[in-house]
Structure 1
């Protein structure tokens, strides 16, 4: 009898092996295995990990839930609220820089241990899009709501309409309009890179990125979330990978979860987070799976990859985690019973 699941696994494995060059395969092969069994999880191994420096504060909020035996889904939502409400964070939520028309649009998605998911795309006037995404998941038969429809749904569900364009962001946007030069700055979320970056950028272009969050609770259940204001001065209506399930975020409770950061267009083209999870299903460690996803992007567009940043962060069912990026500078934060406020530099190709 034809077994579709086994066929998909076998086909994915074959495709993955073909994509690897010999040297990369030699480095990664030690991390692979032939068993398709889900990794065993030890209870009370709660952990939360998030992208970038601001993941430390986010993790702290999420850990307040996990440390009391709370659900991973609640931890992810609470963690996301922190950067979403941070007026000093120019790439997520309230402090986010606008598009080229001076409009702040936000994207977010969330996914639980049962494979349920929700997302909002290009929503305006709502400070916490992660919570609207959760409402979409829990109260509608849909996965995604966009634009005016997402705003209408949020208001109908009690969310407050607010002006998200701060005076600081408005000033930066008006300065940018003088040249309207669009040049995304890599790793601007990393405090050390931000300090070293040119300070006279048109419009103070600290212009992306996102926060991706993965959590596992004491019961061994996984959830994830992703929220962003997207690239500054983008075309109005542009949506990157962050709210797209399989691109910016993917969770499979039998295997693990993954999230991405950087130039979303390249993540979407490679369905990056889903790819990372499927590689972990095949036996790759989280770091090795992230590396292979990065290598797919580099292989397809080597010239483009030299000038952009894309990074992946992953965690498997055992609570093991890892990351890999195209460029140096990507960092992520970890919080569990052993590690608090830990910031780890991700490995990179360049």
Structure 2
């Protein structure tokens, strides 16, 4: 009997444990949506990841505001939250909202109230470690102006299950020290994510304000629909847009995109050094690193043991 194709890919080294969990589920014929949710919940629950979920760094007022989204590639149903507070798993709230035809994207107090009324786990998302880092940054601010913190890493995840269904999800606490109420690309359809099971899916991470300018996730899916491989679609969408923003807007922030098509083939493009994790029916979960190439073609290679060791040291280093 021919083995059915399945696959999952997610942004950053922080997603690897979730990718391992999702790949185990997909190998056991789990649904794509269940795999995406399980993957992202694993990241959201780990307190040392400073840009997602519990332990995520707060806005300038010391409040952790989270954005998340979920999309079902079969039905195109979408659910999203922006600026939700005190909810352990924003991705689960976003997925629940995807079941609604109306009112499926909720923000701020309305999103938090929905989670509370529907029994989602509530908790104080500001950990002592994150609070200490916020207080440290406040002291720095009194002495010098601050540019945007570079830790705006969204977990974006894609899954293809053995029935051919696809799903995509995102979750982030956004820019550290962001203005209260700021929302990036992560919960915005077509910018932070997009999925169509007949074609493929894409997800983004990086500076949302710039990713939104190009609707990058939809653009990659559109190119796959026109016949491009996931890697070609990522390269063709990302690098010309980086050049366009530099020429017309005058500058461009960091951003990276992942994609997977309905055959389980995947691709990545980035304008910074970018790690990601991927697993398929033919390849166990692995952590890879992507580098932008001058000729517009992404260079991808395995991460070194030294890189991984340094990552772990920095992740848990004393403040």
Contact 2:245/2:252, CA 8 A, preserved across alignment: no
Runs of 4 or more above 4 Å deviation: 303-307
1:238 corresponds to which of 175, 178, 182: 182
SS at 2:98 equivalent: helix
SS at 1:269 equivalent: coil
Displacement of 1:278 after TM fit?
A: 0.3
1:74 match: 34
Contact 1:323/1:347, CA 8 A, preserved across alignment: no
2:18 match: 58
1:315 corresponds to which of 253, 260, 268: 260
Aligned-partner Cα distance in 2 for 1:140–1:220: 24
**Any gaps of 5 or more consecutive residues in structure 1?**
1-41, 187-206
Answer with 1 or 2: which has the greater Rg.
1
More strand by share: 2
1:163 and 2:124 equivalent? yes
RMSD: 1.7
2:147 match: 183
Q: TM-score normalized by structure 1?
A: 0.78
Q: TM-score normalized by structure 2?
A: 0.86
Aligned-partner Cα distance in 1 for 2:191–2:3: 29
2:271 corresponds to which of 326, 331, 335: 326
1:48 match: 8
1:197 match: none
Aligned-partner Cα distance in 2 for 1:243–1:331: 21
Q: How many pairs does the alignment contain?
A: 288
Displacement of 1:316 after TM fit?
A: 1.0
Deviations 1:80-127 (A, max 9, x none): 101100101001000100001100000100011211110011100001
The verdict on how the C-alpha distance between 1:339 and 1:182 changes in structure 2, with shifts beyond 3 A counting, is farther
Deviates more, 1:292-301 or 1:84-93: 292-301
Deviations 1:176-218 (A, max 9, x none): 11132433455xxxxxxxxxxxxxxxxxxxx221111000001
1:297 and 2:241 equivalent? yes
2:164 match: 220
1:254 and 2:254 equivalent? no
SS at 1:322 equivalent: strand
1:271 and 2:231 equivalent? no
2:71 match: 111
Displacement of 1:143 after TM fit?
A: 2.7
Displacement of 1:162 after TM fit?
A: 1.1
